[in-house]
Structure 1
Amino acid sequence: MNDPGQRPLRADALRNAERLVLAARQAFAEDGPEVSLEEIARRAGVGVATLYRRFPSKDDLVRAVLLWRYEERVAPVLETALVDPDPWRGVVSSLEAAMGLACEEQCTFLAAKSMHNLADGIQDHYFANFTKIVARAQAAGAVRADLTPEDLPPIAYMLLGALRIVRAPDWDWRRYLGLLLDGLRPEGATPLPELRG
């Protein structure tokens, strides 16, 4: 719960921060994104002043939840994918992990008042690793050669954008991930337009 570059928290402050992040995630999931910070503090068993000392805004708390979930859910998958003997499996698992997290944390994302800088650092870390994972798959001939690092964020955001517009209870993002993955394969790929510099 300590951000890089910050002074380490005292043990009691660290426990409070952890309780607040856990309570926030649960509150967003159970009560929706509009749940108040006062309710989150109550669930965590701390005072509102303690919450505001550690997380001055709701967006700060949302970011802490997302960082924690990313480190728990996505970062280990990327580490494995970077050395997976099957580079294609690494590509698939990396996208599945990102989509799974986004799906699980929809209410957390919606709780943010501003998406600007919300995932600051997370995106950079994800795409730096995902670019290497895709390059390994390209070198193995498992991903089309004309895909560039600049293509990767828009590809991921195509999938993530669907989460915001589709609200059907039986919707399964894996169906659309399957379609997208077919487009990454070299077999039957049609040439892409040149990138404009």
Structure 2
Amino acid sequence: MPHSPRPTSRTSRCPNSKFGTGRPVSKVQAAVCLEQVINPLTSGFAPAQARIRHPKLHMADSGLAATLLGATPDSLSDPTEPLRGPLHETFVANEVRKQLSFGGSSATLHHFRDRRQREVDLIVRLADGKLVCIEVTAAMRAHGRKAQTLGWLRDTIGDRFECGIVLYAGEQPLRLGPRIVALPIFYLWEA
């Protein structure tokens, strides 16, 4: 793996980038919207020492990301292709971010990860403080294990947990547990 240059005043380090852990991110790249930073949700449900506070980085265009990574439609149709998951997550993150910007709402987009490796890909914090928690998978079937962290979060924060959604590449909506559903990714446009 190539060595990443040391960050300077013109770059910052985004350790949780799906496309090169620890690589420097140019502030110019962020300014021209090539990359989107999703800050962690840092309060309300886990001890401070257990939370990981690094932002998550996604390319602003999942097609451009796929091209830069050498992915093709044929390679991405293979369920074992390791880029499928990160590219699906990037696509969904960008779509959710766009939809939040349409309504002029004060909802904000975050993610969560702790030192026990519990992770929620996307968290929408609504204006009233409630949380819509989203897990993304490139799988054609929604499995309960994608909902495990959502269930833990629901049980931990109680009424602040509005709902949990597993977005997947299948076609049927499914109930995975109390206030947790699996929805096809195309539901982002069906609502």
Query: Normalising by the residue count of structure 2, what TM-score does the alignment of the two structures yield?
Result: 0.31
State which structure, 1 or 2, has the greater radius of gyration over its C-alpha atoms.
1
Q: Which is bigger in relative contact order (C-alpha 8 A, separation at least 6)?
A: 1
Q: Where is the strand percentage greater, Structure 1 or Structure 2? A: 2
Which has the larger helix fraction? 1
